Structure 1
């Protein structure tokens, strides 16, 4: 017996973000199939998802969404405004939250200032405000329990960790009561425990009749998936049933960068003269909630550390202390580069010797900030370029553009370029001022498999060529460069 077709793409030419991406895309999604789509290009995987949800342009070919036929017929008879999108939930990698005035005007420091966190809704209020009126099996209490959000319901969304924010986005998708649930790299940002439990989450929602399609790496196909598709750059999709799919990839460590340009740009990176970090019994609390409890840590010049811990263990809060964004630093026994915090230094004195990369930084740049402006802002430690630059600074920025193959994106807003180019832009911004300490917080999150290897090996080369001190945060051990040989773990 032939299964019912839920969605079909036939011989489609697909234009995504104004560029032709696929020339002859074909895909059939049948009832009972749960899909994982892999591929070598994160941009193309996102374009495929955007095609399914109707957000790309098809000059040729067609797409039929028969899963929505009954719903559309019913709403048409009722005379109600409707769309097949009413039945689709989509979790992208670029979700943005708004404050209570419905404006996206948060700034990065607000995450760590308890007096300003009230500008954002609580987790509970945010889920209520953004759920759908369509009836269905998913209640706020049910999704909160499923995603381990129940203890966080009264917390400001601005105070959530990267992984907690991802779980919130996934929970919100369920409250749409979807028939089709699309997720773009849903396990990025999740700790090992959450990734291990992701298959249980999939099985729970599939049991309620939801059909799932996710993009993911070929090494992470969760339980519950029945079919795997590997998307080629031509638009062809090679298909396997889950039990017949095996990982067989040999990722080269060769870098695509000009080694002479890279070496010249890194020549100015200095080594710290004094101990880089010293924490003595550091404790951070927000109201009744303790985030860091009696933390002690010392980092010496030239050391390379991996900072580990589950989602919500306080990694982001600890990093906020190091980069000068947490106002509670002044009440702690805490030294940076041999100088006790709160001894008369300015915020700019703290930031000057530190380069910092985190994927959420992109959300806090004003919408008019182009790639070139973002890189140049690294000289001034500001979330955007607001000062006149020198010819020397412009020259250095152009060299970083050239090194990371970003020239074609130079004048585009950073929020409108592919995720992998965003990550290289942020790395260039961090390095352009020749820092003594480099902090990489899930810095390759959202990159496809090949790009993650290139990112890891690029950082490895930086460590080989310079005396820089490094703190590297990642939930994926395979992303850690070889020269990172020390571990500090938060419980």
Structure 2
């Protein structure tokens, strides 16, 4: 049996700055051979930042880091977003008067591969062979994550860093990935960033807990040997604390949404079909969402969940070739997209990628009143008051004026959920709303959604992969199958 290739990695009083966006302070940490770590902690504590340091990211201002290997495999939401951003930039290159088709998946994998045979094996295991000739940027969030994982694993890294590797994967893919990781623990040391403690693999040996100091700098608060049962249980309980006595702020009484016909369903899809060339993604779907009828939408990666959502919101070009009624409007009969979107609150990973403006946290919430990316209209005093109530609910009052794009991924997601909920829309679409959130914030989000389900003014359409995240009040389920 081969031994792990990692020598001791030693952090000694390390302070790391990330482009003035965030600072990790005074990190003392030793990673020994035959150890596999999980980095955990609250949103904004620096979990992803610490993992990124292991990949050579960040400017070390003080202290030393020794023993870092050269061949490091990194899979993270930030790295995924960077690849997407690079692909999107190709759309801006109009000087050649050609339409950029984007980099095909085949090139993304095999041009960055140390072991083509392993890459081919993983392509088959992950079930993405039919996607090899598709443009990388055209993939769903889950499909993109699979490509990232294959790239990292096939490069046979000396250290594998996985930041939330299981988020966005369907049940079958999740089981396959966990089995594959377990099969390489004797040759590949791993560092994982996990917010969900219940996803921690059995082979993990140690846990690193990060939190924030009073000056808002991240620090390594605690390291725990998983074999120390008492210490591990205390850490587990800490990360499963729930916020109680939740009160959802009221909607703006001055600028209410127009009244809808109460006799009309919110959404009707008649034989809805999504196809690309000869490939059918969704085939003749009939679905009606009645007012106050909460739904959970699920299905494996590539089954068309995001496509169905975009048919409803009007963001999919094929929404006008289908028979669709939304809030009483028939698609393609003269309604504007904003007539529809004013009645929808929406949260998704793609929205978070689009929300790249440098606006304050408070204005991100207020922008939900206007369905805008950023603020271009003067807000009312009442809207500012409601935004303050949401910030207090999320424990982010002291961040009201901080730039949104300098927050952690999890804190950004919390704010976008508040943005979607702020106007109490008739339909609230939550596409994997807990993606990237730690246990405490995940429980907070689930409790908030449950509160909304208890009311009568907002219908919830909840998309997720985690069966244990079922919410009281959601009694209707639609599972899509991959064709």
Aligned residue-pair number: 455
Pick one of 122, 132, 135 that aligns with 2:104. 122
Instruction: Tell me, in whole angstroms, the C-alpha distance in 2 between the residues paired with 1:196 and 1:377.
Output: 39
SS at match of 1:488: strand
Does structure 1 residue 344 correspond to structure 2 residue 334?
A: yes
Which residue is equivalent to 1:47?
49
Moved more, 151-160 or 308-317: 151-160
Does structure 1 residue 429 correspond to structure 2 residue 419?
A: yes
Asked if the contact 2:270/2:284 (under 8 Å) is kept, the reply is yes
Pick one of 342, 356, 361 that aligns with 2:346. 356
Distance 1:420 1:119, change over 3 A: same
Does structure 1 residue 321 correspond to structure 2 residue 311?
A: yes
Which residue is equivalent to 2:217?
none
Which residue is equivalent to 2:214?
none
SS at match of 2:8: strand
Which residue is equivalent to 1:90?
74
- Unpaired stretches in structure 1, ≥5 consecutive residues: 69-83, 108-115
Which residue is equivalent to 1:215?
193
1:333 positional shift: 1.7
Which residue is equivalent to 2:129?
150
Asked if the contact 1:99/1:119 (under 8 Å) is kept, the reply is no
Distance 1:455 1:340, change over 3 A: same
CA deviations on 1:96-137 (whole Å, 9 max, x unpaired) are: 255798653779xxxxxxxx99643221133345x26xx556
Which residue is equivalent to 2:458?
468
CA deviations on 1:315-372 (whole Å, 9 max, x unpaired) are: 1000001111012111212111223211210111111101101122111124434434
SS at match of 1:279: strand
Which residue is equivalent to 2:250?
264
Asked if the contact 2:425/2:457 (under 8 Å) is kept, the reply is no
Distance 1:271 1:49, change over 3 A: farther
Which residue is equivalent to 1:71?
none
Which residue is equivalent to 1:483?
473
Distance 1:103 1:437, change over 3 A: closer
1:243 positional shift: 11
Moved more, 12-21 or 472-481: 12-21
SS at match of 1:6: coil
Which residue is equivalent to 2:221?
235
Question: TM-score normalised to the size of structure 2?
Answer: 0.83
RMSD: 3.4
Asked if the contact 1:50/1:56 (under 8 Å) is kept, the reply is yes
Instruction: Tell me, in whole angstroms, the C-alpha distance in 2 between the residues paired with 1:409 and 1:160.
Output: 34
- Unpaired stretches in structure 2, ≥5 consecutive residues: 93-97, 212-219
1:206 positional shift: 4.5
CA deviations on 1:417-449 (whole Å, 9 max, x unpaired) are: 112211121112212333110010001100011
Instruction: Tell me, in whole angstroms, the C-alpha distance in 2 between the residues paired with 1:376 and 1:165.
Output: 31
Instruction: Tell me, in whole angstroms, the C-alpha distance in 2 between the residues paired with 1:487 and 1:196.
Output: 23
Which residue is equivalent to 1:299?
289
Which residue is equivalent to 2:8?
7
CA deviations on 1:56-111 (whole Å, 9 max, x unpaired) are: 4555543211x64xxxxxxxxxxxxxxx3xx111111222255798653779xxxx
Which residue is equivalent to 2:216?
none
Asked if the contact 2:43/2:408 (under 8 Å) is kept, the reply is no
Which residue is equivalent to 1:28?
31
Which residue is equivalent to 1:104?
89
Instruction: Tell me, in whole angstroms, the C-alpha distance in 1 between the residues paired with 2:128 and 2:28.
Output: 38
Instruction: Tell me, in whole angstroms, the C-alpha distance in 2 between the residues paired with 1:292 and 1:249.
Output: 42
